[in-house]
C-alpha cells in the first residue's frame, strides 16, 4: 500500500501539503498542487479512509440490521436506503440476524466497534434488553417497522391499513370474513393487523365465527394449512378471507383452488404487502401497498439528520399505504 508519506516524498513536499491538496483546504501554491496531483495520478494512490476516520470520527458508513436478507421487504427497504445514502456518499454495512434475537444486540455492538455513523434497524420483535442496548449506544439510530418509545421511528400504519382493507371487503358485500394472522409477539404484523380486523368486524356488527381466526407463519405453505383449517373447522364457511401477508394469502388461494372453488365467486381473498407475486398470481390479489422504498428513504433521512447535528429524540414518521383493488375480491 502506498501512503501519504510516500506521495509527500515523491512530490517533495510535506504530508501536510499533500493532505491539503487531497482535501482542498488551506493554502497550497499551484506549483506544489500540480506536483502532488501528478504523483497521485502516477502512483494510483488512494487515501486510507481508516486512518482518516480515526482522526475525523466520521466513516460515511451506516450500519443496517435486517431480520432476514433476501425477502422482498428487506430488499425494497435497502433500495430506499441506498437511494438516499448513495447520493450523500454513504455506504451500507449490512448485517443479518436471521431472526435470531440475540444477534440484534451483538450486531449493534459490532457496528459501534466499526464506528458506523448511524444505525438502521428493521426489527421484528422488540424486547427490553434490545431497547436498553440501543439507549446505551449513543449513535444516530432509526428503527423501521416496529414502534420503540423514545427513538426515531419509521412506521407503517398496520392497524389502519388492515382495518381499511376489511372495511373495503365489507363494503364489497362480504360479511363472513375469516382471518389468517401471525404470532402477536410481532406487534406490527401479528398484533396490530389482527386488531384492525377485529375492530372493523366489530364496528360493523359482524360476528366472527368459530374457526375463522387462524395463526400461521410467514410462508406460503402456512397460508395453505390455515385455509384448510378454516374450511375444515369453521361452523359457517366464510365467503372471504383476509390474510396479513400476501404469501399467506397466496397459500390460501392455492388451497381454495385445489378444492375446486372459485376466487372470488365462492371465496374472496385479500392480502397485505403488494408483493410482486400479488400482481401476477391469478386471480390478481387485492392487497395493501406499503411504500417500503419510501420508508427506507425516510429512515435514511432521519439518520442523516442526526448525523448532521440533530439530536435524537422520539419521532414517528408514518409511511402512507394504499389499497390495490384487484380481481381476487
Partner DNA sequence: ACCGCGTATGGAATCGATTCCACATAGGTA
Partner DNA sequence: TACCTATGTGGAATCGATTCCATACGCGGT
Site string for its own copies, 262-281 (x = CB under 8 A): --------------xx--xx
Binds DNA by CB under 7 A, chosen from 9, 34, 38, 56: 56
Question: Footprint of its own copies on residues 53-82 (CB under 8 A)?
Answer: 53-54, 59, 61, 69-71, 74-76, 78-79, 82
Half-sphere exposure of 114 (CA within 13 A, CB side): 19
Residue 4 near which of DNA, its own copies, none (CB within 5-8 Å, type-dependent): DNA
CB of 225 to its own copies, least distance (A): 17
Count of chain residues binding its own copies (CB under 8 A): 41
Tell me if 19 contacts DNA by CB under 7 A.
yes
The yes or no reply on residue 160 touching its own copies (CB under 8 A) is: no
CA–CA separation, 72 and 79 (whole Å): 10
- Contact range with its own copies by CB under 8 A, out of 108-116, 172-180, 234-242, 302-310: 108-116
Q: For residues 65 and 166, which CB has a smaller minimum distance to its own copies in the complex?
A: 65
Q: b/e for 303-324, b at 16 or more Cβ within 10 A?
A: bbbbbeeeebeeeebebebebb
State which of residues 9, 16, 202, 261 lies at the interface with DNA (CB under 7 A). Answer: 16
* C-alpha cell at position 296: 427506507
Q: Indicate which of its own copies, DNA, none lies near residue 23 (CB less than 5 to 8 Å, by partner kind).
A: DNA
**DSSP notation for 144-208:** ESS--TTSEEEEE-HHHHHHHHHHHHHHTT---EEEEEE-TTSIIIIIIHHHHHHHHHHHTT---
302 binds DNA (CB under 7 A): no
What one-character DSSP code corresponds to residue 15?
H
Residue 61 main-chain phi, psi, to 5 deg: -125, 135
**61 binds, options DNA, its own copies, none, Cβ within 5 to 8 A by partner type:** its own copies
Can you tell me the distance from the alpha carbon of 259 to that of 246, in angstroms, rounded to the nearest whole number? 20
CA distance 104 to 122: 10
Answer whether 242's CB lies under 8 Å from 214's CB.
no
Candidates 6, 49, 199, 305; binder of its own copies (CB under 8 A) is 49
The whole-angstrom separation of Cα 121 and Cα 148 is 11
Which residues, numbered 236-265, are part of the site for its own copies (CB under 8 A)?
250
Q: In whole angstroms, how close is the CB of 112 to DNA at the nearest point? A: 11
Pair type for strands 287-290 and 321-324: antiparallel
Q: Smaller CB distance to its own copies: residue 95 or 229? A: 95
Instruction: Please give the Cα distance from 312 to 327 (Å, whole number).
Output: 45
Examine residue 217 and tell whether it contacts its own copies (CB under 8 A). no
| Residue ranges that bind its own copies, judged by CB under 8 A | 44, 46-51, 53-54, 59, 61, 69-71, 74-76, 78-79, 82, 86, 91-96, 109-110, 112-115, 136, 220, 250, 276-277, 280-282
The residue ranges that bind DNA (CB under 7 A) are 1, 3-5, 12-20, 22-23, 25-32, 47-48, 50-52, 54-56
Amino acid at each position: 500500500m502506498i501512503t501519504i508519506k510516500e506521495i509527500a516524498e515523491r512530490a517533495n513536499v510535506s504530508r501536510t501539503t499533500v493532505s491539503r491538496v487531497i482535501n482542498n483546504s488551506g493554502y497550497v501554491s499551484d506549483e506544489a498542487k500540480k506536483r502532488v496531483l501528478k504523483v497521485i495520478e502516477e502512483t494510483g494512490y488512494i487515501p486510507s479512509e481508516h486512518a482518516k476516520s480515526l482522526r475525523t470520527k466520521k466513516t460515511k458508513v451506516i450500519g443496517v440490521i435486517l431480520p432476514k436478507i433476501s425477502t422482498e421487504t428487506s430488499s425494497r427497504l435497502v433500495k430506499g436506503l441506498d437511494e438516499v445514502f448513495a447520493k450523500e456518499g454513504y455506504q451500507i454495512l449490512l448485517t443479518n440476524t436471521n431472526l435470531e434475537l440475540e444477534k440484534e444486540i451483538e450486531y449493534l455492538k459490532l457496528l459501534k466497534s466499526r464506528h458506523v455513523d448511524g444505525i438502521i434497524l428493521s426489527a421484528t420483535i422488540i424486547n427490553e434488553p434490545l431497547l436498553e442496548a440501543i439507549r446505551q449506544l449513543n449513535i444516530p439510530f432509526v428503527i423501521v417497522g416496529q414502534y420503540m418509545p423514545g427513538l426515531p421511528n419509521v412506521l407503517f400504519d398496520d392497524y389502519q391499513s388492515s382495518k381499511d382493507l376489511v372495511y373495503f371487503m365489507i363494503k364489497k358485500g362480504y360479511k363472513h370474513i375469516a382471518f389468517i394472522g401471525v404470532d402477536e409477539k410481532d406487534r406490527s404484523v401479528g398484533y396490530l393487523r389482527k386488531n384492525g380486523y377485529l375492530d372493523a368486524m366489530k364496528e360493523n356488527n359482524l360476528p366472527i365465527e368459530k374457526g375463522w381466526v387462524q395463526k400461521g407463519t410467514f410462508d406460503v405453505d402456512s397460508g395453505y394449512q390455515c385455509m384448510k383449517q378454516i374450511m375444515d373447522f369453521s361452523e359457517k364457511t366464510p365467503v372471504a378471507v383476509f390474510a396479513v401477508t400476501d404469501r399467506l394469502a397466496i397459500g390460501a388461494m392455492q388451497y381454495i383452488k385445489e378444492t375446486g372453488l372459485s376466487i372470488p365467486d365462492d371465496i374472496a381473498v385479500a392480502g397485505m404487502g403488494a408483493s410482486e407475486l400479488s400482481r401476477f398470481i391469478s386471480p390478481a390479489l387485492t392487497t395493501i401497498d406499503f411504500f417500503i422504498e419510501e420508508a427506507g428513504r425516510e429512515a435514511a433521512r432521519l439518520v442523516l439528520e442526526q448525523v448532521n447535528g440533530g439530536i435524537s429524540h422520539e419521532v414517528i414518521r408514518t409511511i402512507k399505504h394504499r389499497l390495490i383493488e384487484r380481481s381476487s375480491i
